[in-house]
Every structure is written in structure tokens, then in C-alpha cells.
Structure 1
Amino acid sequence: MKWLTLIHYRIATIIRLWIRPTVLPSELESIQAELEGDVYYVLHDRSFTDLVAAQQAIKSCSLPAPASRDHWYPLTEKTGSFFARRQVYDAHQAGQLIQRARAGEIIQFVPLSIFWGRAPKREQSFWRLLFSYNNYELGGGLRKFLATIAARKDLEIHVSKPLSLNELVSHDQNDEISARKLHRVLRVHYRHVKTAVVGPDLSHRRTVVRDLVKSRAVQQVIDEKIKAGESSREQLEAQAQKYGNEIASNYNTRSIRILDIFLTRFWNKVYDGVEVEGIQRVRALAGTHAVVYLPCHRSHIDYLLLSYALFKQGLAAPHIAAGINLNLPIVGRLLRGAGAFFIRRSFRGKPLYTAVFNEYLHTLLRRGFPVEFFIEGGRSRTGRSLPPKTGMMALMLRSYLRDHTKPIAIVPIYVGYEKVLEGNTYLGELRGKSKKSESIFGLVKVVKTLKGEFGKVRANFGEPLFLNSFLDAQQPDWREVSSDKPEWLPTVTNQLADEAITRINEAAHVNRVSLVAAAILCAPRQALGDTTLLAQIDFYKELLQAVPYSQETTFDDHDPAAMVEHCEKLGFVEKREDSMGAVYHLSEVNSVLLTYYRNNIQHLLVIPSLLAYALNNKRGIGRKALIQLVSSVYPYLKKELYLNLELSDVETAIETHLAFLLERGILTTEGKIIRGAKPGSNQQLIQRLLAAHCQPMLERFYIVLSLIRAADQQPLSTKLLEQKSVDVAQRLSMIHGIHSPEFFDKRLFAGFIDQLYQRKVIQCDEGFIRFDKPLTDILYLAERVMSAEVVQNLRLAKPQAEQS
């Protein structure tokens, strides 16, 4: 009927003018490249509004238009009038296409998933349900019409990779079985997409808390307390419910939409947007795995950054483990609505709280909700990766041992800022000020400082770690354990945590600020002429790209001069000009502050820096001896910086870096002897600056070794050694103007001393440190490359430390 066609045309025109769809994913070029043959576009429902939206999406992203009206393939249709019911679509069209595929025609399906408002299904009021169309749920034309009006801008269309009908059709099956297989594959696909985009179905928060209290694990703790005569069941269950309400998130679309509006303005006003890398690998996992996001922790806004990035990429925002200190008035409620669940710093002496929290985390993982927690615990004040806090990791492993039907994929995430909001706060804490608790007033103060330039933010999604595969490698019989706390759990937890942080470091992003900081901080008095600074930055860029630390590492592709100009714009670098040109230098404050950004990428330059340092003060050294020297130091740096190479691969990496440095003239050869750069050359200056990159770490090691040797035949406990090392390092930092706060970090000294114990370089005898030949050998190697100035200053500093 022409009049009906005309009405449809007018309505379609109105819908096109009204809606503002977002088409995902962003990697549409790869989808376009895979298209061939006769292309059919699949819709989950036979829906006029979905069809109009899909047509607009196809046109906007330059996908090939359907050849005819018959090239739309609805998987289901709704029958009835007001209360529509879903049923499987007639298989007649599928049969025809299957016959064509058997005849040799190439036929592809491109599924289009259309989301009018992204709200997970949950218990809610009738009116909320009416105005929130949850895509593949029961409902008719009225609800769809209302959703179209309400969600004009909140419309996402996900274009999936094409499915080949030819690969799905089996020649030994009849058409009916092949059609059912096709529909089953498409139904599973749509279910996975929906899970990835909006998350699994939610229960109401009250229902979740009630189920926690009634769970076997919580009831077992309550029974034990009743037997001990502590309280009645009613009181203990009320306490458990109180804990549940304190912990559980209140995930809701309203809070996420509020934060989306606020954060979009925030990232674009304060920062120059958010860049994301590696999201495609997460998209592939989100529908089939319980994804556990493990970002490094650099700033308070990390909590919001990941949720924002995932939401903008068309994925479900995760449930985030947040410290109870962030459960502030107003802010805490908003964070809870966006998926935050709150955790106390310590579970010690609270078995009921422990049971409730364990059960809540188990519920999230078992049901496949994406979860996020910070493996470092607190924020890094130095820019380095902190030693892992393994509490949440252990709880995750225990949950998985209880029920591993839903596979878990751990996704490490590197978060990099060109300027953190809390920079001045970190500076004060690094100078000895006590850490302040979070409060509304503290947040207000941070907001007031949001003036000026803050650069870009980067989130790199690293290589996923599949828990099944990891456990199979570490404990092949893990599926047979009868307890969720086997004896090997602590060891495997530590191994998993170390591997996660190592993969976070692999995904590091080398931004403009970190690269400039790495160059200028290695200079004496933190000042360099413009020519030298630009040459050093250019060398670092070339080195990191020619011999990449990892395939996951990314780089800012900017001209060195533009990088320096950007740092000057951010207020980090100052410029002075005279008749000989420009000199870039750092103030005392920025000399400390920029170490934070340098430390973000410190691990990337370790091996070439060690090679440069080994030849910085010596005339020459044999190739074999040089490799042995660097290899002997590497294990200690590997633990401290969470480096990614196994000891068996270190020699190969050293050879690769050595070849690069020799080719560029940073190092030279005479026969079998490796020497430094030619005296007076530009390469010699580059070598010295490169060597200075690892110098503070090596000097810190040398301080410990020298103090142990000096205490021969004298009582020296581990605790006293740590304190003496800190005292000497603080004195040397004052004498030499070393601005790296980690140079006298007691935790780093403790970690190195622990490594010496583990490698049996030193022993503990009745509470005192003893050593033998291994320590003498290491000292011999160290003194081959250590400058005479450092050795002399250390000798002068030690008596002062001993008197303290």
C-alpha cells in the first residue's frame, strides 16, 4: 500500500533527524577489509526503529549498503500487539541462503547490536522499566517508541566482525540442522555482545546483601560465633547485613550517566582528552570471561578514568574495589552508583566482615561481572610500580578455586599522565610530610587547582593473563584441591601478582613529559643546552623504537623540540637564552617532581644504561666480561623494577642493545675490547647521560654492600643495616644534589637486602649478617665500574652513619 509506505518513509525521516547514534568499535577499517561476497546485515529483532538506526550507522561509517531490502536478516520477530512476545524468526530465509552457500556463493553476515540506552536488567519500578528499553527483553512497540524519544543521544550501534556462512555450513548436515546452527551461533553472539556492553543481569542491592547474609560461608562464621557465646543469631545477621551495605555497590545507570557528562567535560577541559590503546583485546574477552582489570595506581582519578574509557568504548563499567576512605558524603554515593564497592584497609580480627566481603567478591566473579582493583594498594608517590598488595589477588584466587565455571581473564593496564593533579601533594609527602586522609575539603582544594595545562592521559590495556593457563603452569593439579586455601596459595598469589605488575610495565607509554624528564634529569645540575637536550631525546626515541622493551609499549610520536616546548608549557622546564643559544633547566621543585615522570619509564632503559655505565669510567672491557657484569646486576634490578626478561634471555637482550650502541658510536670496539665513545665527541655526552640513568640505583646497591663489608667481624642486624643505608644515602643525596626521592627509600634497601639473602650472598647468623666469597665477588665487579668519586664520598659518609 503506497500510503503505508509513505507513512514509513516520513517516520524514518523524523527518526534520522532525531537520533544521534554512536557507532562502535573504532576499528571499523579492519571490518571493512574483511567484507567480501554477498553481505547481509543481522538485527536481533524485526524492528522498524532499529532498521532506520542501522541504515544510518551503515551510511555514517562507509560500510557497503545492503543490496536490497532482503539483505536485512532479523534473528527474531515480535508477535502480538501491546505486550509483544519474542519468537524465533522463520527459517525460510536461512534455508535459501544456506543452499546458495552450498552452491559456492560467498555469503557473510554482519551482526549489528543496537542499544537504546545502556542499562543492565535489574529489579526496578514500573516507570523506570517502561522508559528504559533493555534491548533484548520482553516489550513491545510502545516501550520502543518511548526509548527512542528518551535515548536519542544514548544510542550505541555495535558493528561486529563478519561471520562467514560458508564456514558455518556443513555439507553432511541438512538445511534444517544448518539453519538451527546458524541461529544458535547468532544468539550466542548477541548474548556475548550484550554482556560485554551492559554487563550481566543485576539483582537489586537489597537482594545481593540478603543473599550474602544467607550464604553458607557467612552462616558458618555466625554459627561459630554463637557457639563461642558472642551474640545471638539475629544480632550477628544484622551485623553481617550492615557490613554488606557498607561494602556493596549500587550500580545504576543514573550515576554512570552523571559521571559520563561530568567526566567528558573534565577530561576535555583539564586534560587534552583520554587516549586508549589495546581495547580491542578486551572487547573480545568481555562477553565470554569475567574480566578483572588491574591498573597501576597513579592518581585518585584512576578510579574514574578506567570506567570512563570503557564506557566510551562501548563496554560495561567495572565494579571497582575502593578504599573505605573514599566513601565520603555525596562523593561516596556517586562512586557507589558507578560501581565502586568499598573495602577496609585491614580485615584482621573481623572474621564476619571477612566472610561477607569474600562472599561479595565471589558473587561478582562467579556471575561474570567485570571487576577492577589496584594491585599496588595505594597510589605511587614516586612514579614507580609499587610492590604488590596481594590481599585482593588471594581472595580472587580463592573464589576461583571454589567455582571456576566462569573463566577469568586478568587485564593489566598502564595509566600514564603528563601531569597528575596531586603533584604538589606528592611533592610534600616525598619531603617528609605525613599523608593526609581524603575528605570533601581535600577534594575541593584539588578542584581549585585545576587551572593551566595538564596534558594528555593514556590508558594502555596490556596482554591479558588467563587464570586457567597460569594455574595450569604453576599447579597442574589445582582443579583437584578440596580447599580454597591450599598450602601453595601464598606462593602462587605472589607469583601471579609479580607477573601482573610486570605486564603493566610492559604496557608502558612513553609520553612527552617522561621522555624529556629522562633526558634532563641525567644532566649535572639538571640543565642542558638546547642542542644537547634535543639530541638526547632523539637518541632515546630511536633506542626505544629500535630495540623495544615489549610489543605492548607505545610512544608519543612528536618532534623533540615540540616535546620540550610542551614541557615548558606545562610549567616543568624553564628556558634561558644568551648569545650562545638556549639553556633548559629545572627548578629545585621540578627537579624532584619530574623524577615521578622519569620513573614511569625507568625500566625501559635499564639494560642500555647499564652498558653505558659499565664503560663510563674505564678504558675498556672484554665483551664476555661486560655481558657477565651486566647479567650479574640484572636480577636485582629485575625484582626492584619488575623487569620482563627471564634470566635465560638476558644475555640475548644485552647483545641486541650492545649492537645498537656500537652501531650509533655510543660505544666503540678495538679488537675484542669494548670501550666508551670517543673522547670529546657528541656520542660521549650521550653515553654519560645514558649512564646516569641507572647510576642512583647502582650506588644504592653499592652502599649496602660496602656497609656489610665494613662491618666484618662486627655485629650488624638487618634492621640496623637498613637504617645505616638510609642515613648514608640521605647524606650522599645532599652532597651530590641527588633529587630522586627513591634514592633513600627504606623499602628499596629492604628489598635489595632480602634479595641478597635469597641469593645466599649473605646469611643471618644468630640475628647478625655474615658473608663469604659471593659478596666479595659482587663488590669486585661493582668497583670495576664505580667511579672513584663515589667510592671516596661513600668512605667519608660511612663514619657519619655509624655515629648516628
Structure 2
Amino acid sequence: MTMQPSDGRTPPPWLFRVLGKLAAPWLAIRREPPGAGADLVRPDLPICYVIERYGLSNALILEQSCREAGLPSPLVAMPVGDLVGRRRALIALSRRQGYWFGRPRNRTHSEGLARLVARLNDDPSLDVQIVPVSIFVGRAPDRQSGWFRVLFAENWGVVGRFRRFLAIVLNGRHTIVQFSPPVSMREVLQHDLTPERNVRKIARVLRAHFRRIRTAVIGPDLSHRRTLVDGVLASDPVRRAIADLARKENTNYAQAWRRAHRDAMEVAADYSHTVVRSLSFVLTPFWNKIYRGVTTHHFDGLKQNAPGHEVIYVPCHRSHIDYLLLSYLLYVNGIVPPHIAAGVNLNLPVVGSLLRRGGAFFLRRSFKSNALYSAVFSEYVGTLIGQGVSIEYFIEGGRSRTGRLLAPKSGMLAMTLRAYLRQPRRPVLFQPVYIGYEQLMEGKSYLDELSGRPKQKETIWALLRGVAGVLRHNYGKVAVSFGEPILLDDILATHAPDWRERRGELDAKPPWFGDAVDDLAQRIQVNINRAADVNPINLLAVALLSTPKYAMAESDLLAQLELSKALLEAVPYSDRVTVTPLSPAEIVAYGEEVKVLTRTRHPLGDVLSLDGEQAVLQSYFRNNVLHLFACAAWVACCFQNSRRMSQAGILRLGKLVYPFIQRELFLPWNEEQFGEHLQATIAVLAERGLIAFDPESGQLQRGPGQTDEVFQLRAIAHSLLQAFERYYIAIAVLVKNGSGAVSAGELENLCHLTAQRLSLLYSQSAPEFFDRSLFRGFIATLRELEFVRVGENGKLVYSERLEAWAKDSKIILSRELRQAILKITPDMAREVAEPPALPVEGVEPRE
């Protein structure tokens, strides 16, 4: 009599049990989804498992996985009898044919599937649920793995038995078994088709399903780099560009083709699964050396959305580490790393080749005047999208030196949209990603650049010196948070509902194209901010940078940290924002531990401060989360120079200034929603006693003098006050010079110099205060909202609305500050020489 296992499952034949025990020490299986078990399937229907390729190892892996999950064995017949042959509940769509050391062939006909369909046709009362199962051996070797193991990890090739044996021995403890939801065979059979056609149809659907899962896990089956380049050069747009260049430069087609070939080889990645696996092996100890931990948020949503979509990863860009970090996290969590658009400045000797094999493709900073290069690059991107290759690029164009999101550049987005309009094979999904650091390895170089020193050119020697320096430090923790995805079809449905019917007319740039790209760029930046992670360093920076000397008594700092956390929890910015679970006391202790805070002992109470260069660096981390406090900061700003103000007045002025704040901080609300958040914030501040309702005047009021509540309001307001100072500088320069006196470029330069001088004379503002890009964005918003327009002579002409807007600033900015700005504002538009690099408070100049 055959013994039944204690869980009620029918045991497999004795031979498989023996082989399973021999294989068990070499296998460690991770099931996907992690909770996959008996609740995955319907208990009322027999189960038949379907795998992509048959092999003894796959059967044993599936049997062990089912045993661990409490599912019926695939190696015994179904309760209703032997339906698929060989007394198993297992179907393989293809089977290797070949000897142990021979070159295997792949036979795709499935006799078991044919038998199952025939039996269901014969017995209309019978139904079976099929469960597709994907098996991957050796995808992610760990830090104890040998280099040799990556050569035998999972790929697209059909391997022989000996190679599969080595893969199990070397990499079996890194096996992934992914169960897909069951499907009723009775529901998918079509009665108007013959059994043979039903078999072909079901097999085709299952093969497409397995390809989709395999692509998501190990990446697409890429052609050789030269084959891909040849396809790019053979496309009609590139051939036309080659012919145009030959005609323009009076040369022959072959010479122009060779130039196009050089451009294509400069651009194209040379993706290697082996190199990617090797890099994952190397990077694990690297992350453990330089970081205290890497945390991911909302990753499960990406794993659900990625299969079946062309995924475009669009992270914020804060560090060179962004490239490696995101690809590494995707890989070790079961998603293929994307191809990454990298600046050609990173195409260094040795390093460039390694990055290229890791999926990097290179682009020049500007190629508007190079029609041939533009055609080659656009066609290459289109080819990747057409092949279903996931891509990563940074729409900010470069790393943020201030900690804020930069105004998006639309070039790569436009190329992606054009490629999809031309070949909409798979739906395109944009995945915004927020990356938050506690310390930046490029922090000092960012300060140098903001202070006017030229950016250092990347060289192989500079890279080696940088790596050596990086390995001597620890940079705290990192958070990678995946924002709400954006479907390109949704964007197109908004701007061009009939785009599919008019695809033949879309070769030229349609009138709605620019608006669609701008809308997409804005949504990406908004969704990145909506996925922010608030770490202890962010909260310390927000609190301490609000004081003149970047210092607080310990009791005040603890109270301010508690208030900041309470505001984030009481008026949530987004359901994807995450906040450190540490208490205020634990945040302070952590700041001291990582040497961000300096404690000064004093009999009346310890003082905690940011010292020297550290104080200036912390403005970067404050700016990471500035948008989360925009509502609270605006309400607090309204009480800086006035004790009383009506709620209606706060809302009116808030809606007036909101378009400028929204564009600078990429806030997610319209004006009405902003007003609702302001009201909710006012209620929280009133509940905590920072402001109160005065029944006599019917207005809101703050406390008098220098109470703790007034101190807390001032600290909250400070994060937004510098933005209003910049706004007032721009308006003061414009009004003082007169309408039609300065151009946009001249205004930007004068604003930059005025802010720079203001910071030298009156405050300890960080260099990001006079960052040109912030003034450029404000001037652009003035033009968009028609506060100013460009006159016939190219100068800016402003309306009375601007002067009225400037008058409201007295509510926010003190009289002393407004007078100081007016005093140093240039009174005529003239060319001003570029100033020398200015020293930053607490930063020693370096040679």
C-alpha cells in the first residue's frame, strides 16, 4: 500500500521521490507571489500545471515548490484520471531534444495539451484548471557566489542537459518559481474551432504569456549589437538623413553611411546578461560598504504592472549612483534592468564599455544642429521600444545641484512618444521613481558648482580617485520609492482621442504633440514628488535651517520635529509619501550618530547645530521635501508680519501665488484643491494652538511676542520665505528698470547678481538661493500667466497686474527686507560681467 503524506497529498512515484531528495540540498526556491499556496487555486477543479520547457530538473523543482506551498503534486495523475499522458498533472509546451553534450533542439508540439483538449471535447461535464508556472534557475548570485556561477544562470537559450545540470549545482539555491493565476480550460475552449486549432491557439497564448514573464524577469531576447545597428541604419528615416548629408556636403553615400555607422556605434548599448549578473555580484558588498541600508517602497505595484508593458523608468536625478542603484534593485527583485540613457561624458575608456554591456546607451548633450545624429539616435530609441526593451532616462537632463526637481527636458519624452505612435506594439508605462539619500557623495562638488566654479570634467583618473574616496565613507541610508505609474495611452486619450484612427497622418508633428509631451513631463515630476520618502536628515534640515545660526535648543528641536511629523500625518500630501518611524528623540540621536548634528553642552540646556560646510550641504536635503510643507509654510508666512488675518485672505492670496509655487515645486493640486489643503492645515495649526480664531474680529491670529508657538510658526514659514524673496527680487528688478527695458536673459542675470549680493550682505543663504535656473523658471511662469510679454524689441513688457501682485508682498516680506532688496537692485539694464566664484558660508575655497 502506498503511504499518503501527512498533508493529504498523493505522493509522486518512488523514483521522483528519490531524485527529489538528491536534488533538495542544491535547491532553495523563492515562490512568486510570496504567499502563493493552496488559496491560489480553485478547490473544486482538478489542477494541471503548465511549464514552458520540459526537463527533469524543472519537474523536480516544480514538485518541491508545490510541496512547500501545499499544492497537489504535478507528478501524479489528476483525480479524474490520466488526462495528459504519463500519469502526471504536468504539461510542457516544448521539450529539449539532444544528448548530454550535444547541441539541443527545441520541439514545441505538446502532446499532453492535445490529449487534454481532446478529453474535454469528449466529456462536456469535465473541466480542468491550468496553472502556468515559470521557472528560473540562477538569476541572482549572492555575495558568496563564485564568478563562475553567473555563466550558468537563466537565459533565453535552449541549453543541453549537462549545462542544466551545472546550473542546478551552481545556482540552484537561487531559483525563482512564479505561479500565475489559474485558468479554466472549459472557458478558453472555443466550440466553433476544431480540437487541433484550439490546441494551437491555447499553446500560442501560453507561449506569449511565458515570453512576457521571462522578459520581465531576465530581459528581452536581444539581437547582437551590430545586428541592431544594421537595422537602425537600414530604416527609412536614417537612410533619408544619410542621403541629405551626402547631398549637403557634396560627398558620396558610402562616406555619409560610414559617419552614420560611427554615430550608431557610439550610441548603441551592448547588453550582456553575464555582465549584468556579474555587476549584481560586485555591487552587493559595495552597497553594504557605503550605505547603512537601501529601502524600497511601493515595489509590488511595479511587479504587477511591468508584465505586458513597455516600461520607461523616469527617476529623479540626484547622483551618479542613481544609475547603478535602480538597476541593481530591479534585478535582485526579479525585474530585468532597463537600458539607460547616459551622457556621452561617461563613455570613458574601460568604464564606457562596462556600462555599455550593463545596458547604457550614450547620447550627446545637444544634437539639434546634427540632423544625421538626431535621426540615428531617434531610430535607435524607437527600435528599443519596438522590441519591448525597458528604458531609463532622466528628464531633468542632469543631476540636481540644489535638491529640487529641475524643470524637465522634453527631448527623450518626445522621441518615446513618436516611436510609440509609429509602432504601438505594447502599451507604454512611465514609472516615476523618487530616490532619497541621507548623504551625497557629490555634495561638495555641487557646492563648488553653485558657487560659480566650473564643473570638473569626468576622466578615468578622477573616477578612480572618487571611488577610492567614496569607499572611505558611509553615506547613511537610501530610499527608493516607486510613484504612481502613468500610461501613455491615457495621455493620448486626453490630447488626441482619435490618434489610432489617424496614425497615417502622424508622420508630421501634429498640433497637439507639444502639449501632450509637456503634460506627460509635468505628471512625471508631480508623481515623483508624490512618492517622497522623509528621512531623519530631511526633518533635521527643515528645522535647523530655519534659524539664523542653524542651531536650536534641544527642547525646541524636539518640538519642531514632532510638529513636522504631525503635519505630514494629519494632512497627507499623498498616499505614497513615507515618513521615518523614528521619534524626535531618536531622530536627534541618529543625527549625532551620522555626524550631521553637533551638540554643545550648556548648563541651561544643550544646543544642537549644523556646523560649517555641513550647514550648507543640508539645504540640499531640506529641498528634497520642501514641497511636502508648502501648505503649512504658506499659512505660517501669512503671520510673519501680521498678527491677524482672515481665512478668506489666506486662501485668496494663496490661490494668487499658487501657480508660481506649483511650477517651482511640482505640486499636484489645482487651485481649488490647494485651497482645501490650506483649510485642513489651518485646522491642524489651530488645534495645536499655533494660531487661534478671534471671535471679536472674526479673524485668525497668532500669539504675541516670542512665544514657543510664534517660534514654531517662523520655523515652518522659513522653508517658503526664500522663494518669495526670489520672486520679489525678480519683480523689483523688472519694475525698477521699467516696462520694455530688459530682456528675459538680462532679467535672469540681474536677478542672479542681486540675490548673490543680498546673500553676502544680509544673510547666510545657501548658494541655491541665487541659482539661475530658479529665476529662469519664475520668469517663464510670469510669461505663461501673461504677467509679462515679450515686446517687439525683445524686451519684457509688464501689465498692472504685476505691480498689484508686488504690493501684496508686504504681507509676506518684512519692510526691512523689501527695502534691502530695492536698495541693491540695479536701476538700469546693462551688461554685467560674470562675477568671480563666491565663497560659501562655512566652505573653504579649494584649489
TM-score (norm 2): 0.86
Aligned to 1:165: 184
Distance in 2 (alpha carbons) for counterparts of 1:459 and 1:134: 27
What secondary structure is seen at the aligned counterpart in 2 of 1:414?
A: strand
Aligned partner of residue 723 in structure 1, secondary structure: helix
Match of 1:112 in 2: 133
Q: CA shift at 1:435, angstroms?
A: 0.5
C-alpha spacing 1:257/1:406, structure 2 compared with 1 (3 Å): same
| 2:681 counterpart residue number | 657
The structure-2 alpha-carbon separation of the partners of 1:296 and 1:149, relative to structure 1 and needing over 3 Å to count, comes to same
Q: Which residue of 2 aligns with 1:277?
A: 297
Deviates more, 1:267-276 or 1:669-678: 669-678
Deviation at 1:601, TM superposition (A): 0.6
Question: What does residue 509 of structure 1 align with?
Answer: 533
Q: Deviations over 1:610-644 (max 9, x none)?
A: 00110122121111111001111111011111111
Range with bigger deviation, 693-702 or 486-495:
486-495
Aligned mate of 1:708, from 734, 737, 740: 734
Q: Amino acid of the residue matched to residue 783 of structure 2?
A: Y
Shift of 1:604: 0.9
Compared CA separation, residues 772 and 424, structure 1 to 2 (3 A): closer
Residue 256 (structure 1) aligned with residue 272 (structure 2): no
Query: In structure 1, what is the equivalent of residue 5 of structure 2?
Result: none
The superposition leaves residues 750-786 of structure 1 with CA deviations (integer Å, 9 ceiling, x where unpaired) of 2212222322223444444444431232123211232
Worse-superposed segment, 368-377 or 9-18: 9-18
Which residue in 2 is equivalent to 1:758? Answer: 784
Q: Is the 8 A contact 1:250 1:338 kept in 2?
A: yes
TM-aligned CA deviation for residue 411 of structure 1? 0.9
Distance in 1 (alpha carbons) for counterparts of 2:213 and 2:315? 24
Q: Which residue of 1 is the match for residue 348 of structure 2?
A: 328
Counterpart residue number, 1:122: none
Structure 2 residue ranges without an equivalent (≥5)? 3-11, 79-88, 141-147, 833-847
Report whether the alignment pairs 1:472 with 2:498: no
- Percent of aligned pairs with the same residue? 34
What is the CA distance between 1:174 and its match in structure 2?
Answer: 10
CA–CA distance in 1 between the matches of 2:356 and 2:299? Answer: 25
Indicate the RMSD between aligned Cα atoms, in angstroms.
3.3
Give yes or no for the alignment of 1:316 onto 2:336.
yes
CA contact (8 A) 1:76 1:88 kept: yes
Going from structure 1 to structure 2, the CA distance change for 1:635 and 1:738 (only over 3 Å counts) comes to: farther
Find the aligned partners of 1:692 and 1:721 in 2 and give their Cα distance: 25
SS for the counterpart of 2:337 is: coil
Cα offset, 1:31, TM superposition: 7.1
Query: Does structure 1 retain, via aligned residues, the 8 Å contact 2:750–2:826?
Result: no
- List aligned pairs for 1:584-603, cutoff 5 A: 584-603=608-627
- SS of residue matched to 2:760: helix
1:420 equivalent to 2:428? Answer no
Deviation at 1:342, TM superposition (A): 0.9
Contact persistence 1:399–1:484 (CA under 8 A) = no
Give 1:394 shift: 1.5
Asked if 2 retains the 8 angstrom alpha-carbon contact of 1:367 and 1:406, the reply is no
Answering whether residue 794 of structure 2 is matched by residue 773 of structure 1, we say no
Aligned partners of 1:414 and 1:459 also within 8 Å: yes
2: CA distance between counterparts of 1:303 and 1:653?
35
Q: Using the TM superposition, give the Cα deviation of residue 98 of structure 1 relative to its aligned residue in structure 2, in angstroms.
A: 10
What CA distance in whole angstroms lies between the structure 2 residues aligned with 1:237 and 1:764? 43
> Of 732, 741, 748, which residue of structure 2 is paired with 1:722?
748
- Work out whether residues 662 and 668 of structure 1, in 8 Å CA contact, stay in contact via their aligned partners in 2: yes
Residue-by-residue CA offset, 1:168-212 (whole Å, 9 max, x unaligned) = 468989996988876665444322211211222211111111222
1:743 maps to 769
Name 2:224's counterpart in structure 1.
204
Bigger drift between 518-527 and 761-770 goes to 761-770
Question: CA separation in 2, counterparts of 1:744 and 1:67?
Answer: 67
Corresponding residue number in structure 1 for 2:43: 37
Distance 1:691 1:187, change over 3 A: same
Note if contact 2:537-2:621 (Cα within 8 Å) is conserved in structure 1. Answer: yes
Residues 1:213 and 1:297: Cα distance change in structure 2 (over 3 Å): same
Judge which range, 91-100 or 276-285, deviates more.
Answer: 91-100
Q: Is the 8 A contact 1:614 1:785 kept in 2?
A: yes
* Counterpart for residue 91 of structure 2: 74
1:577 CA displacement: 1.6
Residue type at the aligned position of 2:412: M
User: How do 1:173-192 residues align onto structure 2 when only pairs under 5 Å count?
Assistant: 186-192=206-212
CA contact (8 A) 1:622 1:673 kept: yes
CA contact (8 A) 2:739 2:796 kept: no
Structure 2: distance between partners of 1:711 and 1:610: 29
2:718: which partner in 1? Answer: 692
Query: In the superposition, relative to structure 1, how do residues 366 and 797 fare at CA in structure 2: closer, same or farther (>3 Å)?
Result: same
Asked if 1:789 is matched to 2:816, the reply is yes
Q: Which stretch has the larger CA shift, 538-547 or 363-372?
A: 538-547
- How far residue 426 of structure 1 moved from its aligned partner, in angstroms, is 1.4
Tell me which amino acid in the other structure corresponds to 2:19.
I
Cα distance, 1:723–1:174 mapped onto 2, change above 3 Å: closer
The structural deviation recorded for 1:388 is 1.1
1:770 & 1:352 partners in 2: Cα distance?
40
8 Å CA contact 1:76, 1:86 repeated in 2: yes
Contact 1:612-1:667 within 8 A present in 2 as well: no
Q: 1:608 to 1:168 in 2, by over 3 A?
A: farther
Distance 1:730 1:604, change over 3 A: same
Aligned equivalent of 2:245: 225
Relative distance call for 1:619 and 1:337 in structure 2 (3 A) is same
Counterpart of 2:475 in structure 1 is 454
Cα displacement string for residues 24-72 of structure 1 (whole angstroms, at most 9, x for unaligned residues): 45xx248776566268454334433123323444566x55565983465
The CA deviation at 1:509 is: 1.2
Q: Which moved more, 1:429-438 or 1:274-283?
A: 274-283
Answer with 365-374 or 180-189: which moved more: 180-189
SS at match of 2:601: strand
User: For the structure 1 residues 725 and 432, does the alpha-carbon distance in structure 2 shift closer, same or farther, using more than 3 Å as the test?
Assistant: same
Separation (CA, whole Å) in 1 of partners of 2:95 and 2:74: 25
Q: Return the alpha-carbon distance in structure 2 between the equivalents of residues 744 and 368 of structure 1.
A: 43
- In 1, are the aligned partners of 2:644 and 2:701 still within 8 Å (CA)? yes
Q: CA separation in 2, counterparts of 1:590 and 1:180? A: 66
* Structure 1 runs not aligned, ≥5 long: 120-126
- Residue 591 of structure 1 contacts residue 739 of structure 1 at CA under 8 Å; is this kept in 2? no
Distance 1:763 1:237 in 2: 46
Contact kept, 8 Å, 1:99 with 1:175, in 2: the verdict is no
What's the counterpart of residue 430 of structure 1? 450
- Shift in Å at residue 13 of structure 1? 2.4
Q: Report the residue type matching 1:471 in the other structure.
A: L
Q: Give the residue type in structure 1 aligned to 2:182.
A: L
Could you tell me how far apart the structure 1 residues matched to 2:123 and 2:683 are? 58
Q: Against the structure 1 CA distance between its residues 164 and 720, is the aligned structure 2 distance closer, same or farther, given a 3 Å change threshold?
A: same
> Which amino acid letter does the alignment assign opposite residue 171 of structure 2?
A
Contact 1:118 1:253 in 2 (8 A): no
1:82-93 equivalences in 2 (<5 Å): 82=99, 83=104, 85-91=107-113, 92=115
Contact 2:93–2:203 under 8 Å retained in 1: no
Deviates more, 1:789-798 or 1:639-648: 789-798
**What is the distance in 1 between the residues matched to 2:508 and 2:37?**
43
Letter in 2 for 1:457: V
Q: Is the 8 A contact 1:575 1:585 kept in 2?
A: yes
Alignment pair present for 1:343 and 2:351: no
Contact 2:450 2:771 in 1 (8 A): no
Following the alignment from structure 1 to structure 2, what is the Cα–Cα distance between the partners of residues 470 and 102? 47
Distance in 1, Cα, partners of 2:158 & 2:773: 58
Aligned length: 789
Alpha-carbon distance, 1:14 to partner:
2.9
Structure 2 letter corresponding to 1:496: L
| Preserved contact between residue 98 and residue 175 of structure 1 (Cα < 8 Å) | no
Q: Which residue of 1 is the match for residue 656 of structure 2?
A: 632
Q: Secondary structure of 1:584's match?
A: strand
Give the Cα separation in 1 of the matches to 2:609 and 2:626: 20
Within a 5 Å distance, the mapping from 1:108-147 to structure 2 comes to 110-118=131-139, 134=155, 138=158, 141-147=161-167
